Amino acid sequence: MIRRRVIENLKSQQWTAAGIELVIVVLGVFIGIQASNWNQARTTAAQAENFAQRLRADLREEDWGYQLLIAYNREVLANAERVASALEGTTTISDEALLVNAYRATQYKQRLRRRSTYDELISTGTIGLIRDPKLRDTAMRIYNISTIDNLVREGMQSRYREAFRMSLPNEVQRALGKNCGDRYINTGDYAAITGVLDYPCTTGLSEQAIGEAAKALRSNPNLLPLLRLRIADIETRMADLTNNNRAILDNLRAIATDKP
């Protein structure tokens, strides 16, 4: 209607009226565009805030998992070093302690990563919605770090683990797993991280079974060299987790504790 009036005013040389009508048209278009932009900006801001909150929650759980991984592998390493010392003859431990420590030196920790928000941001190309550089950078680093996967892979494929499993009867291994294996821990429970693996236990095996199993371990010439390799591998990954990737560790801690 306004357009028709503008045309009619131009034909009749009603310049003032035509100018007013034209201004109204332009102003209406401008206001419409601005309103659309404002609505889009509000929608984008809300989406960004939602993603940021979700990503922050995911990284809090990743911090807990990272702390668990460090504590757990320290315990694996402590058990491995006790066995190595016993097999080298520098210390003396009981047959049952040898079994327990040798079993725990074979263990590794694998947990489901919480990364759905990051994967969605990457797959949709919206990672730029995360405006907090520390949040964005920490997510990109923790979800692409190779150390965690390497630690799990080396634990699964450990030749020491293979030699241990091949040396002992399955019933002995079942008893060790049942009575001296990993304790259950609730996700997010920081207080329970220490002692998931390294805690006092008894195997529940007879003295004869314990003695025969310990003898099998001590008489295996490959066990100590492979255990030394296992120790070296864990120490390398622990250095990666705590020193070489210190920025990830510190940023995760800051995000988990809501530090600026």
Q: How far apart are the first and last CA of the chain?
A: 56
* 259: helix, strand or coil: coil
- What does the pLDDT profile of the chain (260 residues) look like in tens digits? 555 654 555 455 555 655 665 566 666 666 666 656 566 567 678 889 999 999 999 999 999 999 999 999 999 999 999 999 999 999 999 999 999 999 999 999 998 899 999 999 999 999 999 999 999 999 999 999 999 999 999 999 999 999 999 999 999 999 999 999 999 999 999 999 999 999 999 999 999 999 999 999 999 999 999 999 999 999 999 999 999 999 999 999 999 998 55
Residues 103, 79: Cα–Cα separation, whole Å: 9
Per-domain boundaries in the chain: 52-256
Smallest CA-to-CA distance from 68 within 188, 198, 208 is with 188
The pair of structure tokens assigned to 68 is: 């668990």
Burial (CB count within 10 angstroms: exposed 0-12, middle 13-18, buried 19+), residue 118 = buried
145-157: burial string, b at 16+ Cβ within 10 Å, e else: bebbeebbebbee
Nearest partner of 219 among 98, 76, 90, 82, judged by Cα? 98
Side-chain-side CA neighbours of 158 within 13 Å: the count stands at 30
E runs forming strands in 74-183 = none
CA distances, 76 to each of 83, 176, 185 (Å): 11, 15, 17
DSSP summary character for residue 182 = P
pTM above 0.75, yes or no: yes
